Amino acid sequence: MNLVLLGLNHKTAPVALREKLAGLVTDVAGAYADLKARPELLELVLYSTCNRVEVLCATETPEDALRRLRDFFSHLPDASADELDKSIYAHRDRDAVQHLFRVAASLDSLVVGEPQILGQIKEAYRQATDNRATGPILNRLLHKTFSVAKRVRRETGICDYAVNISYAAVTLGRKIFGSLVGKTAVLVGAGEMAELAVEHLRGDGVGRIIIANRTLERGLELAQRFGGEAVSLEELVDQLLIADIIISSTGSPQYLLTRDQVKGVMRKRKHKPLFFIDIAVPRDLDPAINDLDNVYLYNIDDLKEVVEINWQRRHQEAVKAERLVAEETLKFLDWLETLAVYPTIISLKEKADRICEAELDKTLKHLGPLTEEQRQALEVLTHSIAQKLIHDPILFLKGDQHPQRPTQSLDLVRRLFNLDPDREPAIAEEE
């Protein structure tokens, strides 16, 4: 059995082409119906994200499977054959397994270590099973993929370091407080940066989230999605009385909070520490705020330094992750190769058992009456001799004495023990 993977991603195809291809697989059931109708594709998993579209299949005829998959991709409307040929890549067997493991472990992502990709692969596998497209090979491979991705996260720090500004802001807040559990966070703005920050804050157990936005409707929409509260920008100063951390990310051309506004609030707070993280460009918060006692203000440049350091750390951890992926790839391939020899091992054992039974029957006919105990002793003897005789050939097959020529190993054993009696003699083939 062979594995074939065909796809394109952010490294090989522009976003415009990826968008078109994502549209091709919008109808998941239809895509699987199309692919399953191609007899060369025995098992299938199709996954599509914003950065990649790939199809993985198990097949007995890899060259035919590659042609079928290319034909599937060629149905993409408004994309030239030349454009597809330049963007599509293909992986087989070991390379296909290793590629899938790297994707799930987020080593092949636009942002190395980003956590969403594993969930997307799991959802793609669920869709594949719902459409009855997988079988024993891909079921085993996908479950192994999930365990590899978890092992990479568990044994490396590839996901530990913030590499986007919103995540860095929340990470900084966690370092400041030790824990964000039970804290009150005020998000100023309701755009993409704020949305990402809210997701990370919720993940860190923040007790209360307040969204302050110029357009109250947008603030309410974001607050309702994450179980928070919404207020208008006019109420922002009042929210400082109860806040522990404020993260601001609007497009305002002027300061939303000044030094004097915060100074007045600090008296009412009895100088309880207050932390501001300004990730807006231009800045939302008056830099002079940082001069106040028990007030700490960080801006986007502070966070960029954190992000740059973390990029370097993630890539260092990625080296460890690549080693784990290579190790797990070899383990899966060992299983796959062992799977290929099972039919021959079974045939060998069945032939040995048939010979034992036939020869024992002949012998018993020429012997006088035997007790049941004597009969069983003879059965054990003949079975034991047969098992010892086939023991070394089985070890030979399982040990894969010719890793570059596995089919020759199987063929040799099948010829030696005549496991295919209907097959023409080897001398005839040589002539």
In degrees, to the nearest 5, what angle opens at C-alpha 331 toward C-alphas 330 and 334?
A: 85
Which CA distances in Å does 102 have to 231, 241, 406? 43, 47, 26
Whether the bond between 282 and the residue before it is cis, its omega within 30 degrees of 0, is: yes
Nearest residue to 243 (alpha-carbon basis) of 212, 216, 217: 212
The catalytic position among 50, 57, 159, 356 is 50
Q: At what angle do helices 116-130 and 94-104 cross, to 10 degrees?
A: 120
Could you please report the per-residue DSSP string of 183-223? -EEEEE--SHHHHHHHHHHHHTTBSEEEEEESSHHHHHHHH
What is the helix (H) or strand (E) element at residue 366, kind and residue range? helix 300-366
**Secondary structure string (H, E, C) spanning 25-80:** CCCHHHHHHHHHCCCCCCEEEEEEECCEEEEEEEECCHHHHHHHHHHHHHCCCCCC
* 50 included as an active-site residue: yes
Residue carrying structure tokens 């490294």: 11
Q: Are 233 and 256 in contact (CB under 8 A)?
A: yes
Dig out the tokens for 202 from the structure: 């919720």
Q: Are 138 and 129 in contact (CB under 8 A)?
A: no
Question: Is beta strand 229-232 parallel, antiparallel or unpaired with respect to 245-248?
Answer: unpaired
Bridge partners (DSSP) of residue 89 are 7
Catalytic residue set: 50
